[in-house]
Structure 1
Amino acid sequence: MLGIRPVMELMFWSFHSVAFDQLVNNAACCRYMSGGLINVPIVMRGPANGGTNVGATHSHTPEGLFAAFPGLKVCSPATPADAKGMMKTAIRDNDPVYVMENTTLYGNVGEVPDPAEGDFLIPLGKADIKREGSDISLIAHGASVLRCLEAAEILTSEHNINAEVVDLRSIRPLDQDAIIKSVKKTNRAVLVDESKPFCGVSAQITTLIQEYAFDYLDAPIKRVCTIDAPAIYSPHVEQDQLPNAERIVAQVLTIA
């Protein structure tokens, strides 16, 4: 790579397929195939979300797809601070890091540490507890974290249910310890994921919880995903297709 650390932008992650061989077969395997002699320190970033009424060909959420390939790292920030901290970490990483952004968050405002206070980095593979709770774990990434926070407020005010919100931040590597610790604490889990339900990120997390925290569960694991169909073009219908606070609350009330 001649010492260069490129940061490339995809207008939409939906367009990844035209470069799939380079993104997966080459970038993910180069260090392994060279016996560690060649690194590929690239960052690919861009929108990977629905909810903007741009149709099925511009609304894919492929984080679970890329996380399935060893050699790739995948993250999905939910806040301005996380976006900055993970991007800086991604640029410093010697492996390919794919940052799945959400265009509906681009206008959000939030506190970001002052550069004068030192270099601000968020390690990949480190989840964040966005809200402490004791009754149920809401586990999500990206914009779904904000929907979980909205749902948690409704659950507290209207149903006296204290929900913990776990922000994965990084899909691969995945902070398995944080997930299991939260579920062992609350004994219930609802996984919220803008991916489609079949082979989505939440499906993988369901397996982890079943393997490592099954005896701590007081109820079945529930999921709230994007309804399993291509992105709907109609604005108000697409909003119902995506995870939202109302759907999350409804799932929580089936087990808590």
Structure 2
Amino acid sequence: MTDTAATAQPADPAADTLRMNMIQAINSALDLMMDRDPDVVVMGEDVGYFGGVFRATAGLQAKYGKTRVFDTPITECGIIGVAVGMGAYGLRPVPEIQFADYIYPALDQLVSEAARLRYRSAGEFIAPMTVRSPFGGGIFGGQTHSQSPEGIFTHVSGVKTVIPSTPYDAKGLLIASIEDNDPVIFFEPKRIYNGPFNGHWDRPAENWSKHPGGAVPEGYYRIPLGKAAIVRPGEALTILAYGTMVHVCRAVVEDAGVDAEIIDLRTLVPLDIETIEESVKKTGRCMIVHEATRTSGFGAELSALVQERCFYHLEAPIERVTGFDTPYPHSLEWAYFPGPVRIGQALKKIMSNA
């Protein structure tokens, strides 16, 4: 297999599609890649017989056997360490970390081994592994099931960080990640696992598990890593977001009637800075929205990049709307999220600057 950038292949617009939520799209990508490539293996806690705590790997062990889809002990460091060895040996492991909050014991393996293996061996060995993990809040999981640690991994040279916001993107980006020859952290926003909530982005929706999802091709397609998507064109303001926040921002902007251009980053590393720069130079304003805590969040890096590249085009200070710098609140998580009130206030502030 070759690196993602060399073989980017969009979906065939005439291909048969099914309505899938994000869980189904992820399962479809794993199924397809395991069928295409016998070197792809899936591993993690409860991913086999049970099919994963969110059912993303349901049915795969029955189809491909226990040697290609297997359960592991509860040892994240061990899971990732074994995956590094598998990748160096020639396999393409897709380990699942059950919740992103549990990934910290594996940091040493990810940072010291996976991220550096290609460079340290002068290209003799690679670590073509895709670490899947649900992240973020929305299920009242409390402090140990709701964190957004993406900023940690964007700091690590040699690791790519991917966050989809739709079922279509989830499948195409996951396929590209599995085919990539470098380690990829693939964070899945569990708040929209079963589809974007209808209407109320400031509180849980009763029908979240019944959302019809989106149209996803049944077959093979891939979305290249490092290419953002303009999900809503506009002229007055650029909004940078990813994951769940893409949907929140879109709902708020359309309700407020602001002519904002919303960019779904899709991959944080590699970052599509060219699309960002072109948009901000056009609109003259930039707002950044993410669920993670504010201090040292990825929004700080985005703000610095926009300032460096677009300073003379800016007509107002860059605004950030983020999670708070507090331990993750269990019962108050819907107040913790950037929602309609705080995003709306930021919209008024940035648009009031002439």
Number of the residue aligned with 2:312 = 215
Number of the residue aligned with 1:152 = 253
CA distance in 2, matches of 1:8, 1:43: 7
Number of the residue aligned with 2:294 = 197
Of residues 172, 176, 195 in structure 2, which corresponds to 1:85? 172
CA distance in 1, matches of 2:100, 2:135: 5
Q: CA offset at residue 45 of structure 1?
A: 0.6
Number of the residue aligned with 1:175 = 272
CA distance in 2, matches of 1:45, 1:143: 17
Q: Which one has a bigger Cα radius of gyration? A: 2
1:113 aligns to 2:200 (yes or no): no
Q: CA offset at residue 24 of structure 1?
A: 1.3
Determine helix, strand or coil for the equivalent of 1:255.
helix
Determine helix, strand or coil for the equivalent of 1:220.
coil
CA distance in 2, matches of 1:133, 1:155: 13
Structure 1 unaligned runs (5+)? Answer: none
What pairs up with 1:9-24 in 2 under 5 angstroms? 9-24=96-111
Q: Which amino acid aligns with 1:145?
A: V
Determine helix, strand or coil for the equivalent of 2:293.
coil
What pairs up with 1:110-149 in 2 under 5 angstroms? 110-115=214-219, 119-149=220-250
Check whether the contact 1:140–1:191 (CA below 8 A) recurs between aligned residues: yes
Q: CA offset at residue 114 of structure 1?
A: 4.3
> What do residues 96-140 of structure 1 show as CA deviations (whole Å, max 9, x unaligned)?
00101111111110111342xxx3111111000000011111110
Check whether the contact 1:125–1:175 (CA below 8 A) recurs between aligned residues: yes
Structure 2 unaligned runs (5+)? Answer: 1-87, 196-212
1:239 aligns to 2:330 (yes or no): no
Q: Which amino acid aligns with 2:294?
A: P
> What do residues 36-55 of structure 1 show as CA deviations (whole Å, max 9, x unaligned)?
11010000011110222111
Q: Which amino acid aligns with 1:83?
A: A
CA distance in 2, matches of 1:57, 1:112: 32
Number of the residue aligned with 1:46 = 133
1:166 aligns to 2:259 (yes or no): no
> What do residues 69-89 of structure 1 show as CA deviations (whole Å, max 9, x unaligned)?
110000100000000000000
Check whether the contact 1:155–1:162 (CA below 8 A) recurs between aligned residues: no
TM-score by length of 2: 0.68
CA distance in 1, matches of 2:217, 2:234: 26
CA distance in 1, matches of 2:92, 2:340: 39
CA distance in 2, matches of 1:110, 1:46: 21
Q: CA offset at residue 56 of structure 1?
A: 1.2
Number of the residue aligned with 1:8 = 95
Check whether the contact 1:50–1:231 (CA below 8 A) recurs between aligned residues: no
Number of the residue aligned with 1:228 = 325
> What do residues 4-32 of structure 1 show as CA deviations (whole Å, max 9, x unaligned)?
10111111111111111111110000111
Determine helix, strand or coil for the equivalent of 1:228.
coil
Identity %: 41
Q: How many residues align?
A: 247
